[in-house]
Amino acid sequence: MYQSFVPTLRTLMGPGPSDVNPRILTAMARPTIGHLDPEFIRMMDEIKGMLQYAFQTKNELTLPVSAPGSAGMETCFVNLMEPGDKVIVCQNGVFGGRMSENVRRLGGEAVIVEQTWGRAIDPEQLEAALRQHPDAKIVAFVHAETSTGVQSDAQTLCALAKAHDCLSIVDCVTSLGGTEVALDAWGADAAYSGTQKCLSCAPGLSPISLSQRAVETIKSRKTPVSSWFLDLNLVMGYWGEGQTRSYHHTAPVNALYGLHEALVVLHEEGLASSWSRHARNHNALKAGLEAMGLTFVVPEAERLPQLNLVSVPEGVDEASVRKQLLQQYNLEIGAGLGSLAGRVWRIGLMGFASNPKNVLFCVNALEAVLSQYNAPIHRGVATGAVQAAYKA
């Protein structure tokens, strides 16, 4: 026999999903209404307005795709690309790799600007690639690499794309709400994000935003968009203006209640306050971990405050530590991916999870678990360091 599933209460400090604000959980449980109900249409308009605020854009085409971040990525590529197009993909982690995978599957040519995992994209390398490939149509890069905790300089990369007459596609999955995203100031043409990172919402939706230049590119396509579900020509009819929305697909009503509430929470706090809260908690976590003797992988200037890549000390079994944190403390932190697997932890401080309670809890739970190993860990000093960082 099957029984209702009641999950153990965890603290989510991995690469996402992160802790969901109870206000958002409650919102998702509100009674479902129809996806063509006038009340629902009004809520959609508010979501659009609040997403424009979060992305800092006036882009009309700003909406949540009804599927997780990977589908948001695919929405950008499948709409802006046509078979044969050349796309320059900056790749410094897993998600850049997924971008090139998208390009190839859609019949395009991916030119890779390769960067060491754990480092920001080098604008000079991008510029060299743009010079070498004057026929490139799109530049794609990840603003905040979830696999490494690195932030690249979106403003500079978007400007380079524009200077070489390319559209830009920017992955903002882990940055939106946590560090500054400013699509209009950057001149970005397409951006996508996820709900389960710094928006503190459950996973399942992917906010996207496309510039007028991107919309014109889509409208003047020579071939149809291969995906019916992700074709923005059709989705626009549902998320457009007025009460005469045409039915496209059945919107994930309750998930959208959650996103609406998450955006209300972000709007109440204010973008700048949210960014500085993320920075403050990151500094405290860093102080605690460094006092223990742990080290960060990413150079300080390129670090994401919401996702901390920490080296596993010699002699410590990486997976066993995560397992013990989960079993003994109900604390989830993330493993490394790809070439970093087994060598690093990824500690998230995203959205609602970015708070002093989580910082102190994580630092001390990690100290307790690491103390079993014969590793050079300084004990009993982390809490003081965290406290000092908050006072500074």
Q: Which of residues 57-96 bind a copy of itself (CB under 8 A)?
A: 66-71, 73-74, 78
By the rule CB under 8 A, 341 interacts with a copy of itself: no
255, 325, 365, 369: residue in contact with a copy of itself (rule CB under 8 A)? 255
Question: At a CB cut-off of 8 Å and minimum separation 6, what does 15 contact?
Answer: 146, 147, 174, 307, 334, 346, 348
- Rounded to whole angstroms, the Cα distance separating 208 from 61 reads 8
Considering only residues 221 to 240 of the shown chain, the ones binding a copy of itself according to CB under 8 A are 224-229
Residues 6+ apart with CB under 8 A from 245: 36, 41, 237, 238, 239
Least distance from a copy of itself to the Cβ atom of residue 380, Å: 30
Residue 98 or residue 282: which is nearer to a copy of itself going by CB? 98
Q: Tell the smallest beta-carbon distance from residue 259 to a copy of itself (Å).
A: 10
Is residue 108 near a copy of itself by the rule CB under 8 A? Answer: no
**Residue 359 C-beta: closest distance to a copy of itself, Å:** 19
Residue 31 found at the interface with a copy of itself (CB under 8 A) = yes
CB-nearer residue toward a copy of itself: 36 or 182: 36
Restricted to residues 195-224, the positions that interact with a copy of itself (CB under 8 A) are 196, 202-204, 224
- Cα separation, 367 vs 202, in Å, equals 29
As measured in angstroms, the least distance from the Cβ of 69 to a copy of itself is 7
DSSP lists the bridge partners of residue 150 as 145, 303
For 17, list phi and psi in degrees, rounded to 5.
-65, 145
CB atoms within 10 A of CB 174: 31
**Cβ contacts of 382 within 8 Å, gap of 6 or more:** 288, 289, 291, 292, 363, 364, 367
- Binding a copy of itself (rule: CB under 8 A), the pick from 57, 59, 102, 281 is 102
Q: Is 257 in the site for a copy of itself (CB under 8 A)?
A: yes
- The continuous run of DSSP H or E covering 173 comes out as none
Residue 28 lies near a copy of itself (rule: CB under 8 A): yes
Cis-peptide into 17, omega within 30 deg: yes
Residues 167-196 that bind a copy of itself (CB under 8 A): 194, 196
Assess 242 for contact with a copy of itself (CB under 8 A): no
